[in-house]
Homo-oligomer: A and B are copies of this chain.
Amino acid sequence: MALELISSSKSFGGFQKIFKHSSKETGCSMTFAAYIPPQVAAAADGDTSKKFPVLYWLSGLTCTEKNFIEKSGFQRFAAEAGIVVIGPDTSPRGCNIEGEEDAYDFGTGAGFYVDATEEKWKKNYRMYSYVTKELPVVVAANFPVDPSRQSIFGHSAGGHGALICFLKNPGQYRSVSAFAPISNPSVAPWGIKAFTGYLGSNQDAWKQYDATHLIGQYTGEKVEILIDQGGADDNKANQLLPQNFEEAAKIAGHPLRYRDQEGYDHGYYFVASFIGDHFKHHAKFLA
């Protein structure tokens, strides 16, 4: 579990770092970003037993670990709240799987946070287990975080990832939120392509990774989910289908704060505009 430091820059009194490590789940070297808020250094001067809450960010298609840390401006809020923020890359890279580089929405940069079962992908494309099992262990071993206080959020395919990681693991995450998540991938083109490729054609297997299906089966504490969706997002009606998730949450009696943000598109200007609200949401549960 040795980490290699790739870069470190002071940001809002803390440090935005990028690390690389050898992953057992994906069978390759993975990078992740870690924001260490100023409170960590301050605590290290005195009480070394102090542990901090940790918030996982999952990015969307085509992203690496860099998009969120460079474009969302989240560090301002992580620094204020004293939260460690971890953002993994979105897929294995350089595994020499035929076709891994062929599309923006499948393979490299598009792990979709599932554990692949199809022969060609199943050795490396295990982003679900990487994010929910291996990465938290690596993080707890290397940073002063309190594993009982972790939450998760993400954007687009990463919003899908955040919702399924939360819904499939009652108790592991205290809260969840998403920006423009792929809410019902089993019936949307991006999701159908990814799930067919990674999981095969049996659609029952797809349901295990579909938030709109999973929310009806969720057995944990019904903490309110926050979702922001850009009203001018070109992908909304075709790929993201927030209304399907909203409907399923209603049927399941799961509290959902769904906000349609008029005029906003799918990009990081949208994320940056509301990232502060998402920190407020999680800080309530992580306190």
Task: List the interface of chain A (C-beta within 8 A of B).
Answer: 9-13, 16, 70-71, 73, 75-76, 230, 232, 263-265, 267-270, 272-273
Min CB distance A233 to B, Å, is: 10
* A228 vs B10: C-alpha distance when bound (angstroms): 14
When distances are taken between beta carbons in the complex, the residues of chain B under 8 Å from A265 are: 9-10
Majority-rule SS of A interface residues: mixed
Q: A9-B267, A10-B265, A13-B273 are in contact. List 11 more A-B contacts (CB 8 A).
A: A9-B270, A10-B232, A10-B273, A16-B269, A70-B71, A71-B71, A73-B73, A75-B269, A75-B272, A75-B273, A76-B272
Min CB distance A274 to B, Å, is: 9
Min CB distance A175 to B, Å, is: 24
* A12 vs B264: C-alpha distance when bound (angstroms): 9
Q: Is B272 a contact of A73 with CB atoms below 8 Å? A: yes
When distances are taken between beta carbons in the complex, the residues of chain B under 8 Å from A264 are: 9-10
* A75 vs B269: C-alpha distance when bound (angstroms): 9
Which B residue's beta carbon lies closest to that of A273? B12
Which B residue's beta carbon lies closest to that of A12? B273
* A74 vs B66: C-alpha distance when bound (angstroms): 19
* A73 vs B73: C-alpha distance when bound (angstroms): 6
Residue in B13, B16, B70 whose beta carbon sits within 8 Å of that of A70 in the complex:
B70
* A12 vs B261: C-alpha distance when bound (angstroms): 11
Min CB distance A177 to B, Å, is: 19
* A10 vs B266: C-alpha distance when bound (angstroms): 10
Min CB distance A64 to B, Å, is: 15
Q: Is B270 a contact of A10 with CB atoms below 8 Å? A: yes
Min CB distance A16 to B, Å, is: 6
Which B residue's beta carbon lies closest to that of A231? B10
What are 7 A-B pairs with beta-carbon distances under 8 A?
A9-B265, A11-B272, A13-B273, A70-B70, A73-B73, A75-B272, A75-B273
Residue in B11, B263, B273 whose beta carbon sits within 8 Å of that of A269 in the complex:
B11
When distances are taken between beta carbons in the complex, the residues of chain B under 8 Å from A272 are: 11-12, 73, 75-76
When distances are taken between beta carbons in the complex, the residues of chain B under 8 Å from A9 are: 264-265, 267, 269-270
Min CB distance A156 to B, Å, is: 15
Residue in B10, B70, B232, B273 whose beta carbon sits within 8 Å of that of A11 in the complex:
B273
When distances are taken between beta carbons in the complex, the residues of chain B under 8 Å from A263 are: 10
Q: Is A76 a contact of B73 with CB atoms below 8 Å? A: yes
When distances are taken between beta carbons in the complex, the residues of chain B under 8 Å from A270 are: 9-11
When distances are taken between beta carbons in the complex, the residues of chain B under 8 Å from A73 are: 73, 76, 272
Which B residue's beta carbon lies closest to that of A9? B269
Min CB distance A255 to B, Å, is: 27
Min CB distance A230 to B, Å, is: 8
Residue from A9, A70, A73 with most neighbouring chain B CB atoms (10 Å): A9
